[in-house]
Structure formats: structure tokens, C-alpha cells
Structure 1
Amino acid sequence: MRIAVVGAGFAGLSAAKVLRQSGFEVSVFEKSPDVGGVWSSTRRYPGLRTQNNKGTYHLSDLPMPAHYPQWPSGEQVQQYVESYVDRFGLRPVLRLATEVVAAKLVDDETAWLIASRPTGGRDPATWERYDHLVVANGIFSEPLIPHFEGRADFVAAGGRVLACGEFHDLEAARGKHVLVVGYGKSSCDVAVPLSDVAARTHVVARQLLWKMPKKLGGAVNYKYLLLTRMGEALFRYIRVKGFERFLHGPGNGLRRGMLDGVGSVATRQLKLRELGLVPNGTFEDIARSTVSLATDGFFERVADGRISVHRDRQISELLVDEGRPAARLADGTVLPADLVICGTGFRQHVPFFDAALHARLEDDEGNFMLHRQILPVDVPHLTFAGYNSSFFSPLSAEMAAVWTAAHLRGGIALPPRERMREQVRTRLAWMAARTNGQHARGTSIIPFSMHNIDEVLDDLGLNLGPLARARQWLLPVDPRAYRRVTPRMIRRTAATAPRESVSQPA
């Protein structure tokens, strides 16, 4: 079986590694000149770091290097991904700087035709046939920049509008007036180094998010609070079981007290009240769609005036004010703005699929209809990797890859299609309700990382034992606990796998 994987981030590379170890022939297409996905050199902005500590943000069989800091830089993560490629011999299957421009099912829908060409080139595309397609293009790969009235005149006057991932040269902001749009991780991360070189740095925040200090009270690493099964259980899942029934029943007061206590400490530690930056709502809202760590130095720079935050505001238009680029906020404030950098989210989209194929993949609201966040209900010979964004995205993507390999080896008994469709619809409705629609078209499972991994591995009968999972209730999840899952899957599915795919892991 020939398998095409589109994307060479954590999801695409772990899929390639697992599928190759499972006996399949794999080709990985990546439009960037290097691997890494969101960590690629083509997308790294100044100040980019992980949200997870290095002990929880890696693939199961290759820890981060011991000399890395607790929160590695974007460059260090990309170097780690390169080492993963070398460790598992993936370079021969990589097609870097190669863009997939079209993918379509053959007439009888038994295989895929994939069209690719060098990135940025104009030569005719080359078409190849594959038995299966894995989409790992990344749910954070296509920046979503708002439509700004007056942008054309603004640009003509010398202004620039960029997504965070398009901004690489800090010197381009030296002495400039910079507006950063958004209040998520990328916006706050990039604002800090900008404030060291820009004439003024303004952050325009439509809605404030709760921020979690890396060390609560300066002592307790946040990984012990949110990167455990206990931390996950503080938020109500679609179905509660075990101790969760207590936390969301008789123990609900205790649960809310724990969250409110963390919120109170964070508010004091970050001096949010003094800065006028206490978000609306409660601290429990931190897990509505994302958890954002406080960027080192951000609130200190707000306090000393190097960063100005305009909360509950939006840019109403870009304009030219006395011959210089500027922006008008919704309250009428006009700010000089030589450079506007947008950390305003991403568009979840598969650009090489046509409208008809997207219609088969999505519901009426545009959400992806994926069983286990992996398998399209109504499109054959297709799976997704990395469409289960979580606190432990590398591990979540890797376990989804194990599920895909087991499925292709005949090792999963799927529910009837109509039951899968109904299960997906129920889950999407729940996700939309709990996040107020901020669920990345159904691809973000935050904060329920381990629930998703449990469901995926329970399908295979390969979940960790009760004792190992019990440890994860109080200690941060260590991806190394899952390093034997792939070889166990290969052995377990050996009897059901197509004869030519039977192999042992390298």
C-alpha cells in the first residue's frame, strides 16, 4: 500500500514513522524547505517558545535533549524535529519544498491522485497514484488576518500588515510604531521582543484571555496543575466517569474552589487588577478553547509602559494620518502604526481539496466530521493527523497515527457509518456549546487531551494499565509512557494485516 502524507510537522512525521514501521510505503510532501510545521524557520516569529515544558512536549520514543531549557525556543523545537527525522530514517521519504496543489479520488474511489510541484514554481504539476492519503497540513498553518477597511491606502503610505508567522526580522520594527492585534500566545510572545526595539508597541485585544503563570506563586510549575489527568478532570467532559463524577457532582464546590484559587493567585502574581487586565468571566474560561501561558516579561512591560494594551477594542480601519500609516480603534482612538502584526487565529482548511470534497468532509457549519478526530465518515481511503490539537499535541498526533496504522492493517472494528455520524454530530454540538464556537471547526480538543488518547487506544485495546494512568492523575503526563504502543499494535494486528504490510518496527 502506497500512502501519501501531506505535511512534515509533528503529526505528519510521526504518521510517516508509525506507518513505515507498520510496513507501508510512505511519501511525505512538505511545502516548506524544512521540517517542523509551525516550528519551521519559515514561520518562526521572534519570541516563539513552547507552551509546554520540554518533558511533556515530545514524541513517545524521543525525549527533548537534556540541555534544552524548560520551555524550548522555536528554533530548538525545529532542531528536535530534525533529530526525529534522522533517528528514524525518514529523510529518504521526505519531499521538501514540494507543494501538493490538488488531491482527488479516482473515479471508482479506490485510490487517490495527488498533484504536486516545487513550492512557488509554475511548472505543470506531477500526478501520482496512492492507495491512501493522510492529511497532516496543520490546523495552525493558514493565518486568518481580519479584513481592515482602508488597508490599500495604508500600505501605499508604507504601512505593513503581517501575520505573526510572517514576521521574522526584528530589525524591521526598530524605531517603528507597531500594533499587535490579538491577546493569545503568539501576540503576547511577539510583543515582548518588539517592545525592545519599537518606538511604541500597542496590543489591541478584542477579548482578554486568562493567562497561567509558568510557575504559580513563583514556585509550583503549571505542569502539576493542568498537565495531569487531575487538571483535565477539573473541566467537564462530554461523559464523566470514575472520580470525575465526584468532581462534577458532590465535589463540585471543591472543584470550583480549586479553579478560583488558581485564578486568584494568577491575578495577584501577574498584577492583573492593577494593570486593568483582569479578563471577563471566571478562571474556568481558561480552557474554553485554549490555555495561554503568561509570556515572560509581558506584564512587566505593560507595567513600565513599554507595551500598551487596549482591552475590549478592535481596529475599525487603517488609514493615513498626516501622511503616516495609522489605525483607528472602535472607540475613536487613532494610533500611529507603521507595522500591524496579527495574531488573530488560523483557518482550518485543506487547500488541495475542491469544494465538493470539502462538502463531504464537513457538516453544515463547516466543522470537520471526523470519527475520533481521524477518520472521515463519508470519504474513503483518507485519514487526518494532527486534527486533535491538545495540551500534548505531539503525543496526541502520534497516537492518532497508531490508530490509522491499525485501521489500515485491519485491526479496528468500526461502528456502523450512521452511528459514527451521529457520534460525531453529538460531539461537535457539545464542543461548540462549551467553547462558544471557538473549537477550530471541531479540531481542538483542549483541555481533554488524555480523554482523546484514551478513546483512541481503547479502540485498539492498547491503553496503558490502571497503575500507569493513576500516576498521571498527580504527575505530568510523560509521553515516554507510550513508547511501546506502536510495537504492541504491530504485533496485535499481524494476523489481520495485509500480507505485504506485516513487519516489525525498526
Structure 2
Amino acid sequence: MSDKTDATSATTESRTEGKDPAQRVGIIGAGIAGLVTAKIFLENGFDVQVFEKEPDLGGVWALSRAYPGLRANTAKETYSLTDYPYPASTSGYPVAEEVRAHLESYADHFGLYPHISFNSEVVRLAEIDDNGRQGFSMTVRSRADVNEEESREYTHEFAYALICSGAFSTPMMPDLPGRETYRGLVRHSSEWTHPAVADVRRVVVIGAGKSALDCAAWAAREGKTSTLVFRKPHWMVPRYLPGGARSDLRFISRFIEMFVNYPVRPWDEKLLHGPGKPLVWLWWTFLSAVVPRVLGMPKLMTPEHKLPVGFESVGQVDDFFDLLNVDRITAIRAGVKGFYDLGVELDDGTQIEADLVIMGTGWQRDMSFLSEELRSKVYGNGRFHLYRRILPPGQQRLAFIGFFPTLTCPLSSEVGAHWAAQLFTGNMSLPSTVEMDQTIERLENWARERVPELEDGVFTGPYIGHYVDELMRDMGMPTMRTSNFLKEYLGSFLPSRYGTLGEELKAAREGRLKKRFYLGSLHVLAAVVVIWIVM
């Protein structure tokens, strides 16, 4: 791919020479969110430039970041781009190599490579407000090659900026005492990319999320001594249900999402979470009892709380519990006090020898490149203050895409990018700043209650239908994407339902959008009442 990458400022400037400055868009990040945003903004007539600090595209799927055994959390049909499905030969749950190849194919197919500068890190983003000229100054630190030690900085100006560096941009590494005395290796799960290391025999993984479990399973499969150390377990779900059906194709649906508490509810969900609340309790009690049995989760690794509490950190695992139950992985529930020369020491004084310690301790968002003035508009009380989880009300030329990931984050990123493009082209109006602030506060109050441990307010969860519906209504697009309520609610909530969204938005602008036929539940109920009256 080296022939397609270029990080030099001279090339960047030549791409934009002679183009309308008012249409210039700077995009930070070339992961899934950055790629779909670039494609959508190009289709809307913008002059696009993407800056990616890594030597290749893909974000968490990039070769430089994908850990051994990394696989999509959902099936290829749900973890998919709306108008560019995976090849038929792709695994049911795509591995990192397949996702990366697909994204490279996507970038090539839609002509995105000429608009991407690799090895280019945005180190400062500041506002421009000079004699009526508004926009952003973006300082980029570039290297012509990943092996080049010396870098150069260039400053570019854009009318709009989109931050697509994602919720999983910077590894979270606990600052444990004694690390300087430890003789072995310490890596974050995203930084240990070699499938086999001959001289590493003893591996300790810290954490209990999906990445930690994946890394512990990888070590066991490679014949290494694998030990998982964690403070509290997280809910995991099987990839396949008894009988072989892929679980997310059954559970990612509007019907199942009705059982999840969301701050904005339609009438049917108000009934379900009101008079029908016992049904909600029964559903989550049933799942909380069945999932551990299907997965073979031992009591040590089964959360004390029932679903849906903890759903935000749920993951799908392959053979971790199989390996754990045959003693090829040792699981220890304890805190880590720190390092000693040969390994890690636990809170109770137990010492575990290790050649390699992998931190499966999650991610944090690095916004250090924002100017102080811009930070004050993006954050409120230390948490992201974004309308629709995209737009800071105080700076409406800046958008965040992919920062609040859902179970089908390619879809939420694409629809979010369409939303931002509609706003920046002037084809969508916003509520007042006061109304946007009130909407943000309502969501924040709900999030604080549901996920109080999240410091910056970024969370994931099974809210894809609710969230996408909000964006679609803002754009004046139909939320129901199939022909009838049975298919809409009981069928899998697939990104392919939105494959024509770009064309629909264009047709709406040109006044030729045709109304979709949709047979709703109220239509059926009305028909039944009429028939009963007539009879």
C-alpha cells in the first residue's frame, strides 16, 4: 500500500490549490469513521483532506494496532458499511485482516486514497475568526516515512473540521509502581501485534474486557502459561447460539432494543417500561441466567449484577471459557499492587512470574490537540458536551464522528456523517443553543445514572435504533426502513437498510423524494377494528 500513501504537505497543498476555501474540510483519522466521513463529504461536493497519524488506514484494525486473534464483535452483516458489503468469502465474524482488507478496498473503490495523508498527526486544532472568515487552523506533524526520525510541521486552514479519531484512540495504561524494576515486557493489548514470540513463555493479562480475554486465549493457544488477573468480571455473550445461529443477528433488532431503557421513548416503549415493566424484568432475568450456561462461565467470572447493567462493556468471545474450563488459562480475581523484578504482585501479596504483561485495560480519548478555547466548547464539566453526540453547540463548524460507538458502529458513523454533511451544506436546521444544551443534559443525566464510572461521558451500548432514528428525523428521512412492522421490528437491524440514504437525501434536496410504503402496527390494528365493526 506504500504507493498509495503520502504524508507530505506539498502534496496536500497541491490537492486543494484553486478550490473554494469555503468548502475545505479537514478530517482527523482514517479509521472506519474517517473513511465513511471522507466519502460522504466528497459526495456532497466538499474539498476533503484526511490526516492519519499511522502509516496505514483502519484505526483499531490497522496492522500497527490489531492484537493477535482480533475479530469483529458482531457479524459481517451487522459490522458492515451500508453500501459496500463484505465479500461472500469473508468469515461470519471478520478477523482483523479481513476488516482491514475490506476498508482498503472501500478506500480504493471510492477514490479516497488521494485525499489521505498518512504518517500525519494533528498536534493542534484552533478556531479562526478573522474579519468574518471562520474556520480552523490545523497544525500537522508529518513524516514522509514511518521510519523517518525527523518530522516537519505544517499548518492548514479549513472551513470545517471533523474529528474521527474515535473512542478507542489512546491506550489506557495504569501507572503501576515498580515497573522500572521489572525485567520483562509490558504492552497494551493493541500494541502486542506479533502472533508468536519464541522467548516469551509466561503471559499475564490484566483486565476482564473482550480484548483481555482474547489475549489470554491467544497465549493459551500458543502453548504459553496464561494467567488472567481482574478486579471484576464483565458480561460476555456467545458468538453462536445453540443450533449454530449467530447471536447478534438475533439480538440486534428493534424488538430486543425495546427492552433497553433509553431517555427518549416512543409510545410502545413507554407502555413496556411502565405497565409492562414485569416483562422487561423477566427478559433480562432470563438472559442473565441463560448466558453463563451457554458460555460455560464459571462463578468467578460471572458478574453479580444482572443484565442490562454492564451491557455497555459486553463482548463476544470465542474459546476463552473453553480454555479456562480445561485449565489452560488461570483466572485470578484480585487487584494488582504493582510490579516486581520477575512479574506482578497482587493486592494480597501473591507474586506471579511473567515474561510478558499485557494490559487489557481499555482506552481513553486524547483531545490534547484542541486549543483551550475549543476545549471549553467541546467539554462541559469534564465530559463531552455534544448535541446528538456529534456537535458542540458553541462551535457549529466542528463535528465528532464515531465517538459514541454502538453495537454497529460503522452504521452509526455513516448516518452521523450524513447528519454533519446535511448541516454543513445548509440543508438541515438546528434547535436553539438552549434547546440543544437541554437535550445534552437530559442524555447526560441518564448516562451518569447508567454508567457512572465513565469520566468523559463516552459510552457504548445497544442503542443503535434509537440513536439512528434521532439522526434520521433531524434530516427529515423516514425512520422505518422496511415495508412492514414485522420485518422492521423482528428482523435483524442491518446497515444495508440505509444503503440508499445518500441518494434519498439528494432526492429530497431536489424535491423528488418519493414516500416509502410502510405497513405499521397501527394500520393493522385499525384494519382489524374496521373489519370487526363491519362484521
Q: Above 0.5 in TM-score? A: yes
Residue 211 of structure 1 pairs with residue 236 of structure 2:
yes
Matched, 1:282 2:306: yes
Of 399, 417, 429, the match for 1:383: 399
- What's the CA shift string for 1:279-338, capped at 9, x where partnerless? 111132242x22211x21111111111111112x22111012xxxx21111122111122
Alpha-carbon shift at residue 56 of structure 1 (Å) = 0.7
- TM-fit CA distance, 1:38: 0.7
SS, match of residue 170 in structure 2: coil
Q: Which residue does the alignment assign to 2:412? A: 396
Larger Rg: 2
Matches within 5 A, 1:278-357: 278-287=302-311, 289-293=312-316, 295-311=317-333, 313-320=334-341, 325-357=342-374
> Which residue number in structure 2 is paired with residue 258 of structure 1?
283
Q: Which of 431, 453, 461 is the equivalent residue of 2:476?
A: 461
- Is residue 78 from structure 1 mapped to residue 100 from structure 2 by the alignment? yes
Q: 1:494 to 1:115 in 2, by over 3 A?
A: farther
What residue in structure 2 maps to residue 363 of structure 1?
380
Superposed CA deviations along residues 121-140 of structure 1, whole A, max 9, x for unmatched, are 54331111111101001110
SS at match of 1:378: coil
Aligned CA distance change for structure 1 residues 431 and 301 (closer, same or farther; 3 Å): same
- 2:16 is matched with none
Query: Does structure 2 conserve the Cα–Cα contact (< 8 Å) formed by 1:22 and 1:405?
Result: yes
Using the alignment, how far apart are the partners of 1:242 and 1:290 within structure 2? 28
1:490 to 487, 496, 506: 506
| TM-score computed with the length of structure 2 as normaliser | 0.86
Does residue 218 of structure 2 align to residue 196 of structure 1? no
Q: What's the CA shift for 1:271? A: 2.5
Give 1:20's match in structure 2, choosing from 39, 42, 50.
42
Match of residue 504 from structure 1: none
1:415 alignment partner, SS class: coil
In structure 2, the residue matched to 1:42 is 64
Deviates more, 1:420-429 or 1:465-474: 465-474
- Give the drift of 1:467: 4.4
Structure 1 residue 49: Cα displacement = 0.1
Task: State the identity as a percent.
Answer: 30
Q: Secondary structure at the match of 2:352?
A: strand
Amino acid at match of 2:99: V
TM-score (norm 1): 0.91
Greater RCO (CA < 8 Å, at least 6 residues apart): 1
Select the residue among 167, 175, 178 that pairs with 1:147. 175
The CA distance in 1 between the partners of 2:230 and 2:77, in whole Å, is 32
Partner of 2:207: 182
Q: CA deviation at 1:174?
A: 5.0
Aligned to 1:137: 165
- Alpha-carbon spacing, 1:468–1:335, altered in 2? closer, same or farther (3 Å): farther
Q: Which residue of 2 aligns with 1:161?
A: 186
Structure 1 position 105, deviation (Å): 1.3
Q: AA paired with 1:430?
A: W
User: In 2 relative to 1, CA 40–290 (structure 1 residues): closer, same or farther, beyond 3 Å?
Assistant: same
Q: Within 1, Cα distance between the matches of 2:493 and 2:437?
A: 31
Distance in 1 of aligned mates of 2:151 and 2:302: 53
Letter of the 1:115 counterpart: T
Structure 2: unaligned runs, 5 residues or longer: 1-22, 512-535
Task: Evaluate the alpha carbon distance shift between residue 207 and residue 129 of structure 1 in structure 2; reply closer, same or farther with a 3 A threshold.
Answer: same
The aligned amino acid for 1:112 is: F
Structure 2 CA distance for partners of 1:171 and 1:214, relative to 1, 3 Å: closer
Alpha carbons of structure 1 residues 196 and 219: separation in structure 2 relative to 1, 3 Å: closer
CA separation of 1:478/1:390 partners in 2, compared to 1, >3 Å: closer, same or farther? same
CA shift in 2, pair 1:469/1:410, >3 Å:
farther
Q: How far apart are the structure 1 equivalents of 2:91 and 2:260?
A: 30
Q: Contact 1:137 / 1:350 at 8 angstroms: preserved in 2?
A: no
- Residue identity opposite 2:176 in structure 1: F
424, 428, 433: which is aligned to 1:417?
A: 433
Segments of 5+ residues of structure 1 without an aligned counterpart are: 496-506
SS in 2 for 1:285: coil
How many residues get paired?
482
- Does residue 442 of structure 1 match 2:464? no
Matched, 1:55 2:70: no
Mapped contact 2:26–2:160 kept (Cα < 8 A): yes
Kept in 2: contact 1:431–1:437 (CA 8 A)? no
8 Å Cα contact 1:31-1:96 kept in structure 2: yes
Aligned 8 A contact 1:139 1:349 in 2? no
